[in-house]
Amino acid sequence: MNSRVNSIEGVQLKVAESSQDFRGSFTKFNLNGLFEDSVKSVALSSNQKQGTIRGLHFQTEPFAEEKLVSCIQGSIFDVLVDLRPTSKTFGKWTSFELTQQNQLQLFIPKGLAHGFQTLESNSIVHYCLSAKHSPKNSFSLNPFYNSSVNWPLSVTSISERDANGLSLALAAKEISNYLDTDSI
């Protein structure tokens, strides 16, 4: 796998190992050295409409998540926001286009909000997660918190929770209340 360094510390972009023959293809999600502990769950997000926004989601300790995200069908515009209060890139965002064709895998460390917009109908996103879901520790940063996040399409679908998510200041406060600063 090839790794590319990103502008937000700890984020890694890798290309999945894939092989093809007359039967089809086989893609391997290589987790070596990515997760502090182990993968606690694997999830799929199925999205029917082009233009759907999901996120920007994050969890606080003791359920803060490391994630490995890939798009296994269709394509997405993936966005990360650094919520770690002592980070040099606090409040900054970055984006990646993940597609079925490019087979990119995005590793997201703890303390970042994550979300995406579907670029195609019927896009499916695959997650490996280091923590189980905890409703008490789960939050949404408003995806429009910063007008500089250029979502590429008109929004066709978004949950009320996401549309009314926290401001950057309140999201950072939630992270500060729980995040172990040694892990930043």
Element (H, E) at 175: helix 168-178
Q: Using the predicted structure, report yes or no on whether residue 182 has a pLDDT greater than 50.
A: no
Q: Does residue 96 sit in helix, strand or coil? A: strand
Question: Considering the domain 3-17+29-178, what is its CATH architecture?
Answer: Sandwich (2.60)
Q: Is 127 a catalytic residue?
A: yes
pLDDT, position 162? 95
Q: In the predicted model, what is the mean pLDDT of residues 164-177?
A: 88
- Order of strands across the sheet with 104-108? 3-5, 12-15, 104-108, 67-73, 123-129, 41-47
Q: Using the predicted structure, report yes or no on whether residue 20 has a pLDDT greater than 90.
A: no
107-129 pLDDT per residue, tens: 999 999 999 999 999 999 999 99
Tokens 């910063």 belong to 146
81-106 pLDDT per residue, tens: 999 988 999 989 999 999 999 999 99
- Options 57, 114, 126, 145, the catalytic residue: 57
- Options 114, 126, 127, 178, the catalytic residue: 127
pTM here?
0.88
